[in-house]
Amino acid sequence: MSEQPQQVQIGKPVPDFRLPADSGEEISLSQFRGRKVVLYFYPKDSTPACTQEACDFRDLAQAYGEYGAAVLGISGDSVKSHGRFAMKQGLNFPLLSDESQEVCRKFGVWQLKKMYGREFEGIVRSTFLIDEEGKLLREWRGVRVKGHAEQVLEALRETNKK
């Protein structure tokens, strides 16, 4: 029997992690302390919805930066796959490789999914907005790509008004 995924909770610190990025360097969440982080999990490089989502975050990355936020993407694809994907799409933020699904499990996004009558485990498209101290501000689970990057930007605007 598999263990229940640890769920992150709004207002609580999220678990730190260290993963290899498309650039080849290791990136940890804690290195972004002092900045907000838009952390998004997606199923697979170079698929239509994941490409659209990455491009939407790319196109708004400068606007996120104006609110002091960095963008990080995570999937189970390899560093090599991330590198090709990031280069082809001109991404301006790191893609992190979680081939062991360890970080995905910590955030509760590695789940049983169904598609075309088949069951399999995979990443449920999800986004987490983390504050400057590493606490979870907002979460979106089971994300629909269309308009999502704008929703996250709006949430950033809201948090900066407080």
Burial class (CB in 10 A: 0-12, 13-18, 19+), 151: middle
55 belongs to the catalytic site: no
Identified catalytic residue from 50, 60, 69, 155: 50
Give every CB contact of residue 65 below 8 A, 6+ residues apart in sequence.
none
Tokens matching residue 22: 């498309």
Gap between the terminal Cα atoms of the chain: 44
State the pairing for strand pair 118-123/126-130.
unpaired
Reduced to 3 states (helix: H, G, I; strand: E, B; else coil), residue 13 is strand
Give every CB contact of residue 64 below 8 A, 6+ residues apart in sequence.
38, 57, 70, 71, 152, 153, 156
Q: Any idea which residues carry the catalytic annotation? A: 50
